[in-house]
Structure formats: structure tokens, C-alpha cells
Amino acid sequence: MRLWRKSGSPEPAVALVAAAGARNGSAQDRFKGDVQEVARQRLVIASAIFALAFVAVALRMGYVSMLRDGAEPTQRVAARGGAIQAERGDIFDRNGIVLATSVPVMSAFANPRLVLDPKEAARKIANVLPDLKYEDLREKLDADKTFVWIKRGLSPREHDLVNRLGIPGLDFQAEERRIYPQGTAAAHIVGYASIDNAGLAGVERYFDQQLQGGEPLQLSIDLRLQRLVEAELARAVAKFSAIGATAVVMDATNGEILAMASLPTYDANKAKTITNEALFNRATLGVYEQGSTFKIFNHAMALDSGKATITSVYDASAPIKIDKYTINDDHAQNRPLTIPEIFTYSSNIASAKMAVEQGPEAQRAFFDKIGFLKALPVQLPEVAAPLFPRHWMKINTMTIAFGHGISVTPLHLATGSAAMVNGGILYPPTLVKRTASSPPGRRVIQVKTSTIMRQLMRLNAVQGTGKNANLPGYETGGKTGTAEKPGRGGYRQKALISSFVGMFPMNEPKFVVLVSLDEPKGIAETGGYATGGMVAAPSVKVIFENIVSLYGILPGDMNSLPSLEIASAPAPQAVPAPRAIVHPRHRTLEQRKALPAKAGQTNAATGAGVRRLASE
């Protein structure tokens, strides 16, 4: 088969002529070539512009998602409102009463570049929002920015008034506002959250991740008891001109904190007014020498070791001189004392000799065992570690026996005291209701030692320094403590930490109550004394009275009564996130206040032989 070549390019010489003709062809041919060249150049330029625009958009997206200041809203919601994506979880007391909740609010912001007349706009806004200063508003609206906050957390009325101004460049953002319906009640426990709904203190901060996810939190405290404790503490501070005070009420059988107060306090609804002094939680963050309340642990250590018995005698005839120090007794008996006498007369001399008999290593090991050498694992960020000697010498052993030379928090004292009287089990303190999965307690002293400690506590309330806390008809007990505060060059004799830790009923302790006053002043009623027995023990008695009244505990022979259990109710079920507020007629803040549990709601059935205390 014969193959024919397809007609193609001319011969080389002919091709060269043709190319020359194209270059030097007619004007029409040259014009077409120029147009094609211009079109190609424009296409290149347009592609470059699109590429630059794409890069700019990508950079802006990266800035918005990762680098933008958190003060600028992450989403714009029209003034007519929109749904909130996730609501911060509510906080409840043990009976389902709301301690902290969130309400939807509108916040005003502006784009200064869109505001036509900054001065006039600032004047109008200041007229409807008188808490804002005209100068500050004008400065914001004159700024060379695209975003400035005007006011966050507007009330429904404020939102309506600002919206009616119709100022170009002014807009609104739907947000949540954290409110605390109970005001100052349990402030140091609940804490508070920032305007951006981030926990800053208390359980608001400790459980921030859980609350941010919308999960509610139920605490162990009883709001009713909390208010009673706070009222009595405030009365004592005023009566004795103290600079501060703290109180703890704990369930001795499981470590649940039923109430905890610290003065001075604050209102989380007014976060801008909170001072560092008011924010300081004396119960968990303050470390103090606790004075003679430490004789509780000194006696328990000696009795539990077997080196001392209830009939042991220690000589308290004369002061102890060691190095340049002298150990004296405030209620000197100037004779040998038995174990019960040492406790009721609160003898420093005999307590020091008891401790020396145990030795520094044994004493340190005992305090380590009961958790007094480390911070407590309570659910608060505001916790402090104890202060104790790095080198535990003989003189340290002596002074620590009566509560000097070691500093712990009041919550340490309450927790340790509970273990000494509840049968010898140390429970970690908790602000959350205990469940089956909660950490178990651990034994720190023998049952027989705990039984003796109950008897000593009861004896002290009847015959010793704790008589002002004795409640007739109820088996109450406890121990006083008065410690001089350290200062420059030694201790300040007129600056005292005066405490009383009490518990009842002593046959089977359920409640541990601690009251501690910082620098109380003696009055005529107390003979000028400001000791723990004079200023703190009476307040513990009042709290005892409040407890028996609140929970309906009748006087009588406590040995014949079944075990006590404090009732509680489950927290209300979470509700869907509300819509943003758009008008004053919509839901007000009052509608989110205390929400008691529904009638009939209780925890698991109470076991046989357990007397349930009323929750209402």
C-alpha cells in the first residue's frame, strides 16, 4: 500500500518568506497582533490581583480565628436577637436553690468609622446611659478602629433606649450575663465569673470547664444554714470589733461542708467593687497558728500511740525553760495533771511534756498522716499549704503541742477535728455532695482513741474552757484556742486569733462547727478578755441552736436516737438556652432567682435506723 504524505508546511525557504510577510504584512494584520498582546497582559494582571485578594482574605480569616482580641465579638447578632449557642451551667445548693445562673442580655458596640458624628452620638448615648461618661464615649467613637464596646450586659430597658437612638454604626451583640441571686451568701464558695463568662474565683473557676459546657453543679452546702452562719459571724465581728472572721460547718461523717463563711465578703453581682481583702478566703487561704485547739491532736497522738492512757499524769508544777524561751500556763494549776485535767485546764506545760515523750519524728509523722503538712484537696482554687518547721527540733515539738510554730488553715482544723471524734476516719473535705464514687475516708486513729477524745471534748464543754458553747439538752463538746499573731521580733500580745471548734452530739458526732475571729477586742461582758472561750465559743453555741432548730433535732438522751442524716434534693433539670433579650417586656432577672426543688424530690431512700433531717 502506498503512503501519501499529508500536505503540510511549505519548504523552508518558502516558510521564511511567509514569516517575513506576516511581520511586514498589512496594517490590519499588525493591529490584530497588538490586540492579542494587550489582552494577554491584562489577563496576567487580573490573575495577579485575584491572587493578592485571595491571600488577603486568607490572612484575615487567620487573624479572626486565631489572633483577634477576645474583647471583639466572635459573631454578630442583629439587634432583633438570636439564639445563644451554649449557656454556662447553673450552680445549686444541696436542696436545689440557685446560687449562680446566666441570663441572656444584649451588649452595645460600635464601628467608629461608620459613626457620622461622634460627638453627637456620644452625647445621645450618655443621656440614656448615665453611668457612662461623655468623654470616654467620645474618645471611643473618635478612635480609628472598626470595633469598640459601648456597654456590655445592658438591661432590657437600656437596650431599648439605645436601640431607639438609631445611631449609624451602633449595633448589639447577644451574650450571657452571670448573676448571683443570693447576693453575698456563700460568696467565697461560689466565686464569680468575668463578663466573658470565664470563672475567676471559687467553684466558678475550679469547675470552669464543666460549667462552660453547660453542665450544672450541685454543692454540699445548705443555703439556709449558710445564711444563719454568716449572720452570726457578722454579729460577732461587730460585737468584738474584729478585723475579720471565718466559720465552717462540716458533716463529720463524710466531710461534706454544709456552710463556710469568711469576712469581709463581697457581692459577685458587683464584681468591679470587689477588693483583694474581701476576696481573701480566710477558711481555705489563710494559714494561722491555731493555739490550744491543737491539744486535740496532741492528746489523740499520745493516746493512740499507747504511751499515754486516760490515767497518765504529767507534771505541770513549774514553767518549762528551753533555750531563751519559757512555756507557761494561762490557767496554771501548779501541780501534776491527769490527761482530762490537761485538756480541760488547757495546760501548755503538760502538753509539751506529752509531745516530747512522743518525739519529733512521731509528731511530724502524725501531723502528716492527718493531712496537716499539705494543702487540702477541696474544690477551690484558693487553697494554701501549711507552714511548718523544715527542721523539726525539740523546741518545735513542744510549741506545736499547743498550736504554735505551725500554721494551718481553719478548714484543716475542722477536717482534722472531725476525724478525731467520728471514729478515727479522715474524710477529705468536699463542697460537692458525696456519691458512691467519692473518695473514701481512711483511718488515722483507733476507734478507742476517738471514743476517749469525744469524752474529753464533752468534759471541756461542761467543766473546762468551752462552757460558753455548752447547749443544755444536747451533748455538745469542743476545744478553745487562742493564739498570738506573729509580728516583727516576736508575737503581738494584743493581736489574737481566737477560735472554738465544737461538735455534737458527742455520742455519735454529726456536726463540726468552727468559729475563728481575727484580732477581736475584749469588752465589759467578757471582763476585757478576747480569748476563744469568750468570743468564739458563744457563736458556736448560737450555730448549734440554729442547727437543731433548722433540722428539727429534739433535746433528750442522744444515745437513744438513731443516726442523723441531712436531707437534700436533686438539682432542677437543665432547660434549653433562652433567646436573647430584645425588649423590656421580656423575662426579667427576678424570674431566674431561687428555684426550690419540687415537692417530693429526694435522694435515694434512707436506710433503716437512720433519722432523716428535714430539708424544708
Paired sense of beta strands 610-613 and 170-179, if any: unpaired
Catalytic residue among 102, 220, 262, 292: 292
Distance (Å, whole) CA 189 – CA 182 = 12
Closest by alpha carbon to 408, among 375, 364, 445?
Answer: 375
Distance (Å, whole) CA 581 – CA 83 = 10
For residue 443, the tally of other CB atoms under 10 A from its CB is 13
Distant-in-sequence, close-in-space partners of 545: CB < 8 Å, separation ≥ 6: 471
Rg (CA), the chain: 37
Paired sense of beta strands 217-218 and 91-92, if any: parallel
Strand partners, 166: none
Residue 223 near residue 505 (C-beta atoms within 8 A): no
Give helix 348-358 / helix 360-369 axis angle, nearest 10°. Answer: 100
Burial (CB < 10 A; 0-12, 13-18, 19+), residue 129, is middle
Q: Count of residues for the chain? A: 616
For residue 138, the tally of other CB atoms under 10 A from its CB is 18
Is 9 known to be catalytic?
A: no
3-state secondary structure at position 414: helix
* DSSP per-residue string spanning 54-112: HHHHHHHHHIIIIIS-TTS-SS---TT--B-S-PPPPEE-TTS-EEEEEEEEEEEEE-G
Instruction: Look up residue 439 and give its three cell numbers.
Output: 473518695
For residue 563, the tally of other CB atoms under 10 A from its CB is 13
Please report which residue ranges of 256-333 form alpha helices under DSSP H. 276-279, 295-305
Distant-in-sequence, close-in-space partners of 403: CB < 8 Å, separation ≥ 6: 289, 290, 291, 292, 293, 294, 295, 481, 483
Instruction: Please give the DSSP secondary-structure letter assigned to residue 531.
Output: -
Instruction: Look up residue 434 and give its three cell numbers.
Output: 458525696
Distance (Å, whole) CA 32 – CA 20 = 16
Instruction: Look up residue 514 and give its three cell numbers.
Output: 468552727
* DSSP per-residue string spanning 167-206: -TTEEEEEEEEEE-TTTTTTHHHH-EE-TTS-EEEHHHHH
Instruction: Look up residue 531 and give its three cell numbers.
Output: 480569748
Distance (Å, whole) CA 100 – CA 185 = 11
Distance (Å, whole) CA 581 – CA 587 = 8
Instruction: Look up residue 75 and give its three cell numbers.
Output: 459573631
Please report which residue ranges of 262-379 form alpha helices under DSSP H. 276-279, 295-305, 339-344, 348-358, 360-369
The H or E element containing residue 219 is: none
| Residues tagged active-site | 292
